[in-house]
């Protein structure tokens, strides 16, 4: 076997599943345990292909739109939330809805309704086409405008009171720049009482920044449609460390490891923790490694389950 130089693996912590993701997955798992399949899920329950495949194997059926769900069936809304129009459609089709929307996304929806009711124009900071953004925009489409960058702010033409909200999975530093641009343009700007970017997104970004500063290479486990995972890769790269997003260990390119003595590893909030273990095992196969964990926060948050799937204790 070819000798490899010793390599250190720096595990960022927190990483992998957050409370909202765990809750959403458990909702589908409990429904499958209690009722068997099929259980229909609108969109991916969370943005991770391994999670989706695992639930499909147990009887979950993922659909793009509710029109694909038989009338009267059980339908689960994903962690990313849905618009009022989707809820109305579910009622029209007599579907039994189990809502797996992350409570922190639901908070943003409630803020959108409150800001709209008081007559504000709401600037939503987020990524066009993301399911969470589509759901939030649907709360008050006639009163909301979407921006992605500070440059977008300059093009806004708005009169009257202005408030802002954000997608929960954005890069903290980039979002701060957009909010600052909004404050310059609209000095009376109002925002949410607490940050909309969720604790898990923030914590994983802080952790990956810490690890990236000590690494020659960063690997983030997550699917390409996972916003928080993509932001982690971008954050590491902005700090000057080569960084790659991988769905699992099979996507590691050996060329990335040439001349690398320290590899930072993390995972987005929707990526199963066992995938990180597999990445570490794959790195071991490519030479001796020492593994250390670098913790920047401890997460203790959990969310209650919907009454329809709650177990009796």
Active site residues: 132
243 φψ region: left (φ > 0), alpha (ψ -120 to 50), beta (else): beta
> How many whole angstroms separate alpha carbon 273 and alpha carbon 133?
26
> How many whole angstroms separate alpha carbon 107 and alpha carbon 104?
5
Q: How many CA atoms lie within 13 A of 135 on its CB side?
A: 25
Only one residue has tokens 């590893």, namely 265
- Looking at residue 312, what DSSP letter applies? P
Tally Cβ neighbours within 10 Å of residue 143.
17
Assign 3-class secondary structure to 98-161: EECCCHHHHHHHHHHHHHHHCCCEEEEECCCCCHHHHHHHCCCCCCEEEECCHHHHHCCCCCCC
Confirm if 285 and 3 have CB atoms less than 8 A apart.
no
Cβ-based neighbours of 63, under 8 Å, separated by 6 or more: 40, 41, 42, 43, 69
Only one residue has tokens 């954005």, namely 170
Only one residue has tokens 């995938």, namely 275
Cβ-based neighbours of 148, under 8 Å, separated by 6 or more: 125, 126, 127, 128, 178
Confirm if 48 and 11 have CB atoms less than 8 A apart.
no
């Amino acid at each position: 076997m070819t000798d490899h130089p010793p390599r250190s693996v720096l595990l960022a912590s927190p990483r992998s599943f957050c409370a909202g993701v765990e809750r959403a997955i458990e909702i589908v798992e409990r429904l499958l345990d209690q009722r068997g399949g099929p259980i229909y899920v609108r969109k991916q329950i969370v943005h991770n292909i391994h999670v989706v495949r695992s639930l499909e194997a147990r009887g979950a059926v993922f659909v793009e739109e509710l029109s694909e769900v038989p009338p009267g069936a059980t339908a689960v809304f994903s962690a990313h939330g849905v618009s009022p129009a989707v809820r109305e459609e579910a009622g029209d089709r007599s579907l039994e809805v189990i809502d797996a929307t992350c409570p922190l996304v639901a908070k943003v929806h409630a803020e959108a309704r409150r800001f709209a009711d008081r007559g504000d124009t709401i600037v939503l900071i987020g990524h066009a086409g993301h399911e969470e953004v589509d759901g939030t925009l649907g709360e008050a489409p006639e009163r909301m405008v979407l921006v992605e960058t500070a440059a977008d702010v300059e093009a806004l033409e708005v009169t009257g009171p202005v408030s802002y909200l954000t997608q929960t999975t954005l890069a903290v530093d980039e979002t701060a720049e957009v909010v600052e641009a909004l404050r310059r343009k609209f000095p009376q700007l109002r925002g949410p009482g607490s940050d909309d970017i969720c604790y898990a997104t923030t914590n994983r970004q802080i952790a990956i920044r810490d690890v990236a500063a000590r690494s020659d290479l960063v690997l983030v486990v997550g699917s390409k449609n996972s916003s928080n995972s993509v932001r982690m890769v971008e954050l590491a790269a902005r700090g000057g460390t080569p960084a790659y997003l991988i769905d699992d260990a099979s996507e590691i390119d050996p060329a990335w490891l040439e001349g690398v003595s320290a590899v930072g590893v993390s995972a987005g909030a929707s990526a199963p923790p066992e995938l990180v273990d597999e990445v570490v095992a794959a790195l071991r196969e490519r030479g001796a490694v020492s593994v250390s964990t670098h913790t920047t926060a401890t997460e203790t948050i959990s969310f209650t389950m919907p009454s329809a799937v709650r177990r009796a204790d």
